[in-house]
Structure 1
Amino acid sequence: IIALAIPLSIATAFVLLYFTGHTINIMTLGGLALAVGTLVDNSIVVLENIHRHIAMDKPVREAVADGASEVALPMLVITISILIVYLPIVFFTGTIKFLFVPLGLAVAYAMGASYLASLTVAPVAIAAGDRELGHLPELAKIEAPRSVWGSLTAIWKSFNPFERVADRYEAFLRWGLGHKALIVGTVGGVFLVSMAQAPRLATEFFPKVDAGEFILNVAAPEGTRLEKTEAIVETVEGVIRKVIPAGELDQIVANIGLPQGWMVLYTPVNGPHQAFVLVSLAKGHQVRTDDYISRMRDELRRELPSLKFSFQTGGVVSDVINAGLPAPVDIKVSGPSLADLNQAAVTIRDVVASVPGTLDARVQQGMDYPEIHLNVDRVLAAYMGLTEQQILADVVTGLSSNISGDPGYWIDPKTNNAYFVVAQYPEQNLKRFEDFLLTPLIGVKTTELPIRIAGTGGLGGSTLSLQNTPFAGMPMLPFGGNFSGGRHREPIFLKDVVRVERRTGPETIDHYNLQRTMDVMFGVAGNDLGAVARSVEEKLAGLGLPKDVTVDLKGELGSMRATISSFAVTLPLAVLLVYLVMVGLFRSYLDPLVILASVPLGFIGVVWMLLLTSTSVNLESLIGSLMMIGIVVSNSILVVDFANVLMRQGMPVQAAVVRAGRLRLRPVLMTALATSLGLLPMALGLGEGAEASIPLARAVIGGMMVSAVMTLLFVPILHSVAARRKEPAAPHVV
């Protein structure tokens, strides 16, 4: 009967996800996987309470009605408390919101269906079973054949270990009620010591996932020709095959130089001297991707020391969360002068490289890219009847066609499809730089001068020079001078009107906040991005930078810090929302405070679980902490609400607290174990790509196990103190 809650709740969640426009994806399935253990909690509590009433010799139907109605209100509070902790996720922004809102909705739909199933399907199933047996009373007299499972059950009942545990728990609880100060002081000390260990936890934005693929960025010295870069990449591929065995390697795809067309907007390559190599490992590879990368990094440094290398790992999810940046940390160096920026960026790169834990420190923009400057002789060009704009148009048309400046179209009359009609010089004719200088300039039509020229016509004189000088607003056609007369005219070449100058300059000029910017990027070894970033910031704090140069750390680091800051507000907000809901339902200000006392104690388990398993504080573990708040509150509600019921029936405070603790021991332990066991496969990282959810599951399990103990030991003692000081409780609502 209890297990029925799982398929019913998950099926209902699928239906509601469909009608709310969501799909079945890794986040919605992850949310349902997280909720599997929690889905049976409601049914466990209801059925345990029904069996308790049956043990009081009540008729089955009466026991079902009394047992279900008795826990209806606390189960409603529990469900609302679990759901309401997901409400702050709605206030997230950016990629995080689109990732985790579907997860929260999947959990909310499944939990709501679980609540309804626990109060309808489970009680009705018990009552229906009793009705079937009621028509055949003689069945009760027939002894069922003893099976292996039945024999084990009989042995378990005769041994009765749970009652022994319950007796010892009741004895300890009575002792604790007599030593309240000692218990409260001990719990407070454990909490402070545990929170003091929190700074030792590693911090990162999103857990690293072994996606089975990585990108290797290769950069040769600026000015390296494309065919030379191709030979270098071939050597790099040989290193890759040397490090990764053939059975572990799936494919290698190399992208060299700049692509053609609009794809150039999305490539990380800045010129023919750069390339990136996509390496995919075979499915089920035995060695982790990071281990192969570490070996490959050492091998590349040894064989190709003059090249720059960097690696991108983590797969699509990491790229999306990191906004497509090729490194976890991007130090943006901004200022007005490129020379000062380059000096500062190189200095920062050297400082970053000296910090332990940093990888692939590099300046993203090179400053030695070969450039050819064409200085137009304006006087000579004007005499030839040409403007700088016309010369530029002819050069661009010759090299990359007229598609960007003056595109032409042809429409197929049969299909009405439009095609570009472009003009461009054949690439095979541009083998040397001298061929480029022989580009003819034919940007305008030539006309005959409507006057007679005396002499040879080689020079038209000052009047003709003025006539050939263009001015703004009136583009003029070439005439006079070399264009006069009826004889054959010599063509004008690019070399005739320009002066060539070779220089070096930046690969690209980037801007951030309207300022020129250079990027210093680096990766992090391990999972402690926060500690490495703090060490880098400490080094940079004492660094003297040129005037007007500023430094700003962006990338995954900025997202991580913004997320942690958001959770510093989100977690207290979730606790406050749960408190307000319980105040309205319990009609008491003090009982919700007693219940919420288990929440900070749950963080004891979160801290120690993450610390002992070397798991970092990241987005997933913070989401797990948020989930833990709602689950932890549910156990305390069971104990406090039932103690209030007993006190309203006239039982003394201490006796009521002990009685409530003993009777709620079984459901509290069962729900804690069900939730923890449901999350155990996820916490162990079983399955492909499960690394992303490991921190979430471990945070919930750690907080759940510790809070279950605290709920049974500390919350009853705190409740007994509060019950003696508060006013008489309001009548219980059923």
Structure 2
Amino acid sequence: MKLVHTSVKRPVGVIMIVLAIIALGLVSVRNLAVDLFPKIDLPIAVVATNYPDAAPEDVENLISRTIESAVSSVEGIDTVQSQSQSGASLVLMMFKNGTDLDQALLDVREKIDQVKAFLPETAGDPNILRFSPEAMPVMYVGLTGKDTAALTQVANDQIIPYFERQGGVASVTVEGAVTREIQLELDTAKMQQYGVSSGEIVQALNSTNNAASVGSVDKGNQNLQLRVTGEFESTDDIENTIIMTQAGATLHVKDVATVKDTYKDQTSASLVNGKESIVLSMMKQTDANTVEVAGNIKESLEEISSELGDAVELEVLIDTSEFIEMSVDSVVQNILIGGAISVFILLLFLKSIRATLVIGLSIPIALITTFALMYFTGQTLNVLTLGGLALGIGMMVDSSIVILENIYSYRKRGFSLFESATKGASELAPAVIASTTTTLVVFLPMVFVKGIASDLFMPLGLAVAFSLVASLVVAITVVPMLSSKLLSGAMKDNGRRYWFDRFLDLLRNKYSNGLKAVLKFRKTAITVVVIAIALSLALIPTIGAEFIPASDQGQAQISVETEVGSKVEYTQSIVEQVNGILTSYGDVIDISYVTVGGTSSNVASYTLQMVPAGEREQSTTEIVKEMDKDLRKIAGAKISANAMDGGMMSMGDPIQISLNGPEHEILRELSEEVVAEISTIDGVFNPTSSASEGIPQMQIHVYEEKAATYGLTEQQITSQIQMQFTGQLATTYRESGQELDVRLVYPEDKRSEMNDLEDMKIQTVTGVFIPLREVASFEEIQGPASLLRENQQAQMNVTSALVDRDLGSVVTDIETKLDGMNFPEGYTFAIGGQAEDMVESFGQLALALVFSIFLVYAVMAVQFENFLFPFIIMFAMPTSVIGVLGGLFITDIPLSIPGFIGIIMLAGIVVNNSIVLVDYINILRRRGMERKQAIIEAGRSRLRPILMTTLTTVLAMIPLGLALGEGAELQQPLAITIIFGLSVSTLFTLFFVPVMYTLLDDLTAKVTGRRKKEM
């Protein structure tokens, strides 16, 4: 090849190009972003709407259904789900893969604008958001020290604005803070005495608390703007606001109400390691890098802490970047170990430091070139792309090994260094290019794969492809050039017998004898291979399947749910008992952070951060199982503990069963039956239903006719009840740039008991007060906590975690259980969550595998200008199934997306050895050698490079296969498939491919001979 000759003739030019590439790569790697996973684009949009104090039924009927109907006609919509809970509606729109989400969001906004007028007046404007699995806090920071009120003020005035100015930080949210407001506590007796209603007080406050521009006036040469200033400047102004009664009398607000500068009733509290705290959640910008943002936050912590002094303490509770950095570090460490192993194998075979250096240089050059290509294509350094590089470490030297081996053979035959380098490299360059191309083309079908599988596989594939292309260029340019300059001494035979050479000679002789026997008993050999493949396929049911391997991230969650309707104080008493049990796990728990209340007063949610995996004997799952047993001993609450899946955060529960049908109540009963049924299945852990026990409700039925006799309507009565029990926002009060709500409330002792409701005084149009029970009746019922719908039909979900069993096997058992249940007519079930994603991804990857095999064959057909030889080479592929399935069975690892990706990559890798073998057989036959002798000679000659390339690839993957370090579980299935698949296929390549070569060659001879006779 001309490129080979040029590189050998112009070594200075090659060296300068290499140095330029290295410099570019080093600059690129410094600027590459670091993350845990590649960016995953999910075509999901969310519409969130507030409807204060509304029951879930009203939210569903008035908000959710309206929005569902509006957005269902948007182009590209696949599924519409809604969740209606007290005071809020959440509508999720899942679009088909390939949908332009930006355009879809514009269409959704247009549809929402069309139905805004049909929403209740008190409902907030719908917020339309793009959902992203990356929309998770980068870091949680605890704020402790003073009382909650003081901490809240410090957080709002100093800390939050400071952090939001840091690079990459999008927003900071606060949990456990209190909200200041001005409360006007009404005196009902005085209000009746003066004949004042709450509406008149609100009107007086609003009419007084305003400022307006009223024109302009000339004063000499000046034109003065006229502005009436009437805004409240202090709480004294609120107290002295004048109220005009219907009787014409005047009085002040302080005559009928007590003005209090206080805080809103706190419905939630945050505790860090048992101490009341405020927790700040740091959200990163969409295009920001997690590790970089976390670094910015940690640097800024020191500065803000020094400004706040000792009175306030800031502590990092959970830092998601730590696991990312540990995972990336472990992969880098595995890459270095793999590289060291590859270099050792080279040194063992080449028995020359110079020769090893020639080939070993291809690894750093290829790696650095890959970093540059990754930077310019917008990739990130994550556990998958680095896993691809770890896979490529051993493969990077394959092309160089084959080239150098042939250069060495020419040198032994007496050729000069220049001739050996040029002839040896040129002769096998086409075979090396073909073998590399077959590995590369397996990634092309991924263009047609959509969804999560594509988002995960493409970055890994690009990393491998970049490294292989770089190593190929190095093999046909740098290696011949260096060989012509450095290997004069390394290629001399000094007469000494190297022990490893004696071992290889013995191995060659054994292989030659074995190959002769196999060629003699071809039918027996084929039968053995077929039986081995059949036995390996029989292992599939015992291997199982999962979506993404879980990593031991060291995080766990504990959910505490007391009886629905319980007060926050009672829930906190249960939390204290939980804290008591967690103290016994103090040696493994680093941070314990709990939020009490929040979404509901009867709920508490813990987030636990364990110490690093290397500092504890048990895995997070094992710890959580023990913890769950201990926590279940606490009476008065439902408590469950689950490990957080570090494999795919925010990708849903492993098991999610969706029950659909017309009626929510029947779905509630079905969900409870499903939970009971699947609880008996091995591997199902803490199954839960989205149907809670229901919120206790007191329904008030207004006697419309009786109310009418007093001149009252149902709406008037409802507004007065709402005023007494929830208060009423009257106006706002500005102080030091802060805007505070001014709310009218009744005294606590007038709005807490059932008697307060029944004896409540309703004011008629004539000013007379009557008790509520005169015009209404009361009924206590159980109302739903939330209502779910999918595609405009009622839905209920059952979710479950997994323990000690693979996802595929558990799903199979669940489907069997559910098929045996008698669902009422019109009610169905569907399994979603990670199980659904797994099935979809496996289907797409299987299609990609089929196309990959076809492309590998097409590349070889073009290379050999023959349809037969590629077909012979392809027989190495089915033998890899034996290694893959056997390896997964031996290591007890289920098949997952990384494992499937490994199978696709094997389709391009396993044929490389066959290409080198068959190509050399053809070269020897063209030189006039007889077929059998050519096969045996080619086998003996190519055994050394085949062993070298296989061992460097396989042994370099062993650190990943052993899952050494944090987060290494993700690459383990990929490594196992490559290690076992390539090892077994190499063994069969050396024996089975020559057998198929002779059989198909005989068949070809018969066909061509028959044709000649016919002609």
TM-score > 0.5, shorter chain as reference: yes
CA distance in 2, matches of 1:713, 1:333: 55
Q: Are 1:95 and 1:321, in contact at CA under 8 Å, matched by a contact in 2?
A: no
CA distance in 2, matches of 1:636, 1:166: 17
Which residue of structure 2 lines up, in the alignment, with residue 525 of structure 1?
Answer: 803
Which residue of structure 2 lines up, in the alignment, with residue 274 of structure 1?
Answer: 603
Which residue of structure 2 lines up, in the alignment, with residue 256 of structure 1?
Answer: 596
Question: CA offsets per residue over residues 96-144 of structure 1, 9 Å max, x none?
Answer: 322222111111111111111111111111112268x89xxxx999x9x
Q: CA deviation at 1:722?
A: 2.0
Point out the structure with the larger strand share.
2
CA distance in 2, matches of 1:388, 1:41: 83
Helix, strand or coil at the partner of 1:164? helix
Residue 722 of structure 1 pairs with residue 1000 of structure 2: yes
Which residue of structure 2 lines up, in the alignment, with residue 568 of structure 1?
Answer: 846
Amino acid corresponding to residue 838 of structure 2 in structure 1: M
Which residue of structure 2 lines up, in the alignment, with residue 156 of structure 1?
Answer: 498
Q: Are 1:398 and 1:423, in contact at CA under 8 Å, matched by a contact in 2?
A: no
Helix, strand or coil at the partner of 2:380? coil
Question: CA offsets per residue over residues 275-319 of structure 1, 9 Å max, x none?
Answer: 221111112322111111111122223x12553333432445433
Query: In 2 relative to 1, CA 483–181 (structure 1 residues): closer, same or farther, beyond 3 Å?
Result: closer
CA distance in 2, matches of 1:658, 1:159: 19
Question: CA offsets per residue over residues 500-550 of structure 1, 9 Å max, x none?
Answer: 322112211111222111122223321322222222222222221223221
Helix, strand or coil at the partner of 2:666? helix
Which residue of structure 1 lines up, in the alignment, with residue 577 of structure 2?
Answer: 235
Q: CA deviation at 1:724?
A: 3.4
Q: Are 2:625 and 2:641, in contact at CA under 8 Å, matched by a contact in 1?
A: no
Q: Are 1:342 and 1:367, in contact at CA under 8 Å, matched by a contact in 2?
A: no
CA distance in 1, matches of 2:826, 2:944: 67
Which residue of structure 2 lines up, in the alignment, with residue 454 of structure 1?
Answer: none
Residue 550 of structure 1 pairs with residue 550 of structure 2: no
Question: CA offsets per residue over residues 218-271 of structure 1, 9 Å max, x none?
Answer: 2222222211111112212222222x2x23220111112225xxxxxxxxxxx2
Which residue of structure 2 lines up, in the alignment, with residue 174 of structure 1?
Answer: 516
Which residue of structure 2 lines up, in the alignment, with residue 630 of structure 1?
Answer: 908
Helix, strand or coil at the partner of 2:609? strand
Residue 318 of structure 1 pairs with residue 658 of structure 2: no
Which residue of structure 2 lines up, in the alignment, with residue 425 of structure 1?
Answer: 745
CA distance in 2, matches of 1:609, 1:365: 43
Query: In 2 relative to 1, CA 656–230 (structure 1 residues): closer, same or farther, beyond 3 Å?
Result: same
Helix, strand or coil at the partner of 2:971? helix
Question: CA offsets per residue over residues 455-489 of structure 1, 9 Å max, x none?
Answer: xxxxxxxxxxxxxxxxxxxxxxxxxxx545xxxx3
Which residue of structure 2 lines up, in the alignment, with residue 605 of structure 1?
Answer: 883
CA distance in 2, matches of 1:511, 1:313: 28
Question: CA offsets per residue over residues 31-56 of structure 1, 9 Å max, x none?
Answer: 21221111111111111111111111
Query: In 2 relative to 1, CA 349–77 (structure 1 residues): closer, same or farther, beyond 3 Å?
Result: same
Q: CA deviation at 1:347?
A: 1.6
Q: CA deviation at 1:603?
A: 1.1
Query: In 2 relative to 1, CA 159–714 (structure 1 residues): closer, same or farther, beyond 3 Å?
Result: closer
Amino acid corresponding to residue 660 of structure 2 in structure 1: S
Amino acid corresponding to residue 558 of structure 2 in structure 1: L
- Percent identity over the alignment is 30
| 2:374 maps to which of 10, 13, 17 | 17
| 2:411 maps to which of 48, 54, 57 | 54
Q: Are 1:653 and 1:724, in contact at CA under 8 Å, matched by a contact in 2?
A: no
Amino acid corresponding to residue 199 of structure 1 in structure 2: P
Q: Are 1:202 and 1:528, in contact at CA under 8 Å, matched by a contact in 2?
A: yes
1:304-343 counterparts in 2 under 5 A? 304=634, 307-322=637-652, 325=653, 328-343=654-669
CA distance in 2, matches of 1:79, 1:11: 19
Q: Are 2:574 and 2:637, in contact at CA under 8 Å, matched by a contact in 1?
A: no
CA distance in 2, matches of 1:698, 1:223: 52
Residue 672 of structure 1 pairs with residue 950 of structure 2: yes
Q: Are 1:340 and 1:549, in contact at CA under 8 Å, matched by a contact in 2?
A: no
Which residue of structure 1 lines up, in the alignment, with residue 620 of structure 2?
Answer: 289
Q: Are 1:96 and 1:321, in contact at CA under 8 Å, matched by a contact in 2?
A: no
| 1:349 maps to which of 675, 687, 702 | 675
CA distance in 1, matches of 2:868, 2:628: 60
Q: Are 1:209 and 1:314, in contact at CA under 8 Å, matched by a contact in 2?
A: no
Q: Are 1:527 and 1:616, in contact at CA under 8 Å, matched by a contact in 2?
A: no
Q: CA deviation at 1:20?
A: 1.2
Which residue of structure 2 lines up, in the alignment, with residue 374 of structure 1?
Answer: 700
CA distance in 1, matches of 2:982, 2:384: 22
CA distance in 2, matches of 1:570, 1:679: 24
CA distance in 1, matches of 2:603, 2:430: 66
Helix, strand or coil at the partner of 1:503? strand
Amino acid corresponding to residue 609 of structure 2 in structure 1: S
CA distance in 2, matches of 1:71, 1:391: 92
Instruction: Judge which range, 701-710 or 653-662, deviates more.
Output: 653-662
Q: CA deviation at 1:30?
A: 2.0
CA distance in 2, matches of 1:123, 1:553: 57
CA distance in 1, matches of 2:449, 2:761: 59
Which residue of structure 1 lines up, in the alignment, with residue 64 of structure 2?
Answer: none
Query: In 2 relative to 1, CA 720–256 (structure 1 residues): closer, same or farther, beyond 3 Å?
Result: same
| 2:893 maps to which of 602, 615, 626 | 615
Q: Are 2:689 and 2:798, in contact at CA under 8 Å, matched by a contact in 1?
A: yes
CA distance in 2, matches of 1:402, 1:58: 98
Query: In 2 relative to 1, CA 180–69 (structure 1 residues): closer, same or farther, beyond 3 Å?
Result: same
Which residue of structure 1 lines up, in the alignment, with residue 74 of structure 2?
Answer: none
Question: CA offsets per residue over residues 602-631 of structure 1, 9 Å max, x none?
Answer: 010011111111111111211111122211
Amino acid corresponding to residue 520 of structure 2 in structure 1: G
Gaps of 5+ in 2: 1-357, 1007-1015
Which residue of structure 2 lines up, in the alignment, with residue 581 of structure 1?
Answer: 859
Query: In 2 relative to 1, CA 660–432 (structure 1 residues): closer, same or farther, beyond 3 Å?
Result: same
Which residue of structure 2 lines up, in the alignment, with residue 450 of structure 1?
Answer: none
Q: Are 1:180 and 1:717, in contact at CA under 8 Å, matched by a contact in 2?
A: yes
Q: Are 1:401 and 1:422, in contact at CA under 8 Å, matched by a contact in 2?
A: no
Query: In 2 relative to 1, CA 682–154 (structure 1 residues): closer, same or farther, beyond 3 Å?
Result: farther
Instruction: Judge which range, 112-121 or 78-87, deviates more.
Output: 78-87
Which residue of structure 2 lines up, in the alignment, with residue 38 of structure 1?
Answer: 395
Helix, strand or coil at the partner of 2:781? strand
Gaps of 5+ in 1: 144-152, 260-270, 443-481, 729-734
Give the number of the structure with larger relative contact order, counting CA–CA contacts within 8 Å between residues 6 or more apart: 1
Amino acid corresponding to residue 204 of structure 1 in structure 2: E
CA distance in 1, matches of 2:424, 2:592: 64
Residue 113 of structure 1 pairs with residue 470 of structure 2: yes
Which residue of structure 1 lines up, in the alignment, with residue 963 of structure 2?
Answer: 685
Question: CA offsets per residue over residues 330-375 of structure 1, 9 Å max, x none?
Answer: 1111111223212222222211112233221232211332112233
Q: Are 1:248 and 1:286, in contact at CA under 8 Å, matched by a contact in 2?
A: no
CA distance in 2, matches of 1:100, 1:711: 28
Q: Are 1:679 and 1:701, in contact at CA under 8 Å, matched by a contact in 2?
A: yes
1:172-211 counterparts in 2 under 5 A? 172-211=514-553
Helix, strand or coil at the partner of 2:745? coil
Query: In 2 relative to 1, CA 707–225 (structure 1 residues): closer, same or farther, beyond 3 Å?
Result: same
CA distance in 2, matches of 1:610, 1:316: 21
Query: In 2 relative to 1, CA 158–19 (structure 1 residues): closer, same or farther, beyond 3 Å?
Result: closer
| 2:383 maps to which of 1, 17, 26 | 26
Q: CA RMSD in A?
A: 3.1
1:449-598 counterparts in 2 under 5 A? 483=765, 489-490=767-768, 498-598=776-876
Structure 1 length-normalised TM: 0.82
Instruction: Judge which range, 231-240 or 492-501, deviates more.
Output: 492-501
Q: CA deviation at 1:381?
A: 5.3
Query: In 2 relative to 1, CA 38–527 (structure 1 residues): closer, same or farther, beyond 3 Å?
Result: farther
CA distance in 2, matches of 1:22, 1:494: 67
Helix, strand or coil at the partner of 1:330? strand
CA distance in 2, matches of 1:654, 1:435: 103
CA distance in 2, matches of 1:113, 1:496: 87
Helix, strand or coil at the partner of 1:275? strand
